[in-house]
Amino acid sequence: MTESYPTWQTFATTLAGESIRWVGKPGLESWDAIRPSTRLIAEALSVGPGQRVLDLRCSVGVCGVLAARHGASVTLCDDSIVAVQAAQRTLELDGTSGTVIHGQPCEGSKPLQDFDVVVLDAPRGREWVRHLLTMTAEVLRPGGKLLLAGPNRGGIKGFIQDANEIVGPCSVTHAKAGHRLAIATRSTVAGGLPSAVNHQTCEATVRGQPIRFITRPGVFSHGELDAGTRALIETMTIQSGESVLDLGCGSGVVGMVAAQMGGQVVCVDSSAAALEATHATLDMSGVKAPVLASDCAFAVRDLRFDVVATNPPFHQGLGVEYEVAQQFVRDAAHVLRDGGRLYLVANRFIRYERMMEGLFSEIKIAYEDNRFRVLEAV
């Protein structure tokens, strides 16, 4: 498995007039190139010794390196465990230092506050961005600056309006290559701010039984049980006592139902928000199961399972890419016992059967409708 895993690669470019190197690998958005929105942030980033800088979506960590070079105290955060690992490697490669957090600064036992500058290369999803902007307002000192950037087709115009409402006066300062950068100044707010943590309890009927689960902004299919995951749960067969890996667990619904069917479940995901949602879902249902941060199935590479169930991702940012999904398939083949079963749900247009050839002895369509198919591979 180690040999087949995508390896870290080193890249170099000129950013804001400085030579910079970074470390990346598949599983990250723009892992082998610097996003135009990141370049806009880097060019506008003006910090000095002793200032406290927070990057809320650090990706490979290049903005953190630039700030650290100018003497700033740097904290880098990302929802993705792969990004966190990349950022730490990038800091070390450059000979700089900083604090790197998987998740967000408000969500630990010791929340961080009073930053002079917060930078946010905005992700997809307005609700997720509003969550991050609320967090920015919590951690940014009054008068501090937010640098917010993103692609026009990713919704940056709406995000700028939200920043003006949540953080403080916000206006566009740069626009280039279909991207915009806006700078907001943190207002002094009378009273309290809304909490950035926004859990939601959802209900659904699956396999003829009512279930409840927790979602939150930033988690796949926030606020509902998506049709693909429903098809996966309705199709999978779990025998009492079988070991089950919920690979890419999201809100933890698949793992929860598998445990209720008698499985001994382990849940893994790269997303800190997904891991928190899964913990909450399992706790609410009374299920005891390990929930692990993992780049694909790397955290459980030495374990063996009877069943792997997954709804693999195929989006990175605004684009489509299948490298992570391919790794999901390879990892499933590696961690399954002989005779073990993979249940994989996907949009009908994605032919995962081709990825499975040579790794599984039997591949069949266990369920199909006009949108999804569930594959069972042995």
What is the DSSP track for 262-327?
A: T-EEEEEESBHHHHHHHHHHHHHHT----EEE-STTGGGTT--EEEEEE----EETTEE--HHHHH
Q: What is the pLDDT of residue 110?
A: 56
Tell whether 86 is covered by a domain: yes
Q: Which is it for strands 315-316 and 264-269: parallel, antiparallel or unpaired?
A: unpaired
Range of the domain at 227: 200-377
Q: What is the pLDDT of residue 105?
A: 80
In terms of domains, do 173 and 206 share one? no
Residue that terminates a domain, selected from 123, 156, 185:
185
Q: What is the pLDDT of residue 190?
A: 41
Tell whether 194 is covered by a domain: no
In terms of domains, do 154 and 31 share one? yes
String of DSSP letters for 121-163: E--S-HHHHHHHHHHHHHHEEEEEEEEEEEEGGGTHHHHHHHH
In terms of domains, do 136 and 239 share one? no
User: What dihedral do alpha carbons 125, 268, 8, 1 form, nearest 10°?
Assistant: -140
Please state, in angstroms and rounded to a whole number, the distance separating the CA atoms of residues 69 and 157.
31
Among candidate residues 248, 171, 261, the one with its CA nearest the CA of residue 209: 261
Q: Which residues of the chain have pLDDT under 50?
A: 1-3, 190-192, 315, 317-320
Q: What is the pLDDT of residue 249?
A: 96
Backbone φ, ψ for residue 323 (5° rounding): -65, -40
In terms of domains, do 357 and 231 share one? yes
Residue that terminates a domain, selected from 125, 158, 185:
185
Q: What is the pLDDT of residue 318?
A: 43
pLDDT digits (tens, 9 = 90+) for 179-225: 999 999 998 754 445 555 578 899 999 988 899 999 988 898 777 89
Q: Quick check: 54 and 355 in contact, CB under 8 A? A: no
Polymer length in residues for the chain: 378
Tell whether 297 is covered by a domain: yes
In terms of domains, do 115 and 257 share one? no
In terms of domains, do 215 and 342 share one? yes
In terms of domains, do 156 and 269 share one? no
Angle between helices 272-285 and 253-260 (to 10 degrees): 30
Please state, in angstroms and rounded to a whole number, the distance separating the CA atoms of residues 52 and 58.
15
Tally of structural domains, the chain? 2
Residue that terminates a domain, selected from 160, 185, 210:
185
In terms of domains, do 180 and 225 share one? no
β partners of residue 360: 357
Please state, in angstroms and rounded to a whole number, the distance separating the CA atoms of residues 245 and 304.
9
In terms of domains, do 355 and 242 share one? yes
**CATH code of the domain in which 66 resides:** 3.40.50.150
How far is residue 124 from each of residues 10, 26, 250, measured CA to CA in Å? 26, 19, 16
